[in-house]
Amino acid sequence: MPRKPSLQRKLNMKTRLSILLSVLALTIFVNAGTKAQMMKMSGLPDVIAKPVFEGSDGGVLMKVWIMSIIRDLGNVDAKADNDDINDTHNVLVEVEDKDGNIIPDEVVRLLLVSPSGKKQSVDLDPKSDQYGGSVAFTETGEYQLTVSVNAVSLNADGKPAQSTFNYKFYR
């Protein structure tokens, strides 16, 4: 005949399970806090930590991040600008000098040329240490993007620093 577990043994198993679950919950809580702190410190979420493009011109380094916009169309404000509703991606551009110092207060513009040749120009707004704006990738295929920085403080000739790259967009 099998032996029934003693009351002491049952309590021991419950205690072990409680301790294990407590340690697991504490580990998850600490990791979540650490990740949130890291995201705040870096300025950019870890998902987009690596730029999709880096280029330079005349001592001006440009780094570009492109992120999809995820929106709930059921909650779109009726007064929202139709152009904003059609935008599909956010673009962030960081501008640095040759020594790696952030260049503030410059005019940064992005020119997109779609696979069919349609052009879209966006003036990017200053956002902390980057410049940002929204764009619409409406066609599938390869886009040509040109980042233009009017870095008068760096270019004696007054010409904007430009860098062009290709970006493949697929739905």
pLDDT in tens, 79-112: 444 445 677 888 999 988 888 888 777 789 999 9
Q: Which of 79-83, 114-118, 133-137, 159-163 has the lowest mean pLDDT?
A: 79-83
pLDDT of residue 123: 92
């980057």: which residue's tokens? 130
> pTM higher than 0.75 for the full model?
no
Residue with tokens 């930590």: 49
Q: Is the pLDDT of residue 1 over 50?
A: yes
Is a pLDDT exceeding 50 seen at residue 38?
A: no
Query: How sure is the predictor about 120, in pLDDT bands with cuts at 50, 70 and 90?
Result: very high
Q: What is the pLDDT of residue 35?
A: 44
pLDDT at 146 over 60: yes
Mean pLDDT of 150-169: 78
Within 10 angstroms of residue 105's Cβ, the number of other Cβ atoms is 6
Distances in Å between the Cα of 133 and the Cα atoms of 16, 22, 84, 88, 102 are: 53, 44, 10, 11, 18
Secondary structure E strands in the chain: 53-57, 60-68, 89-97, 107-113, 119-127, 130-135, 141-150, 161-169
Burial (CB < 10 A; 0-12, 13-18, 19+), residue 89, is middle
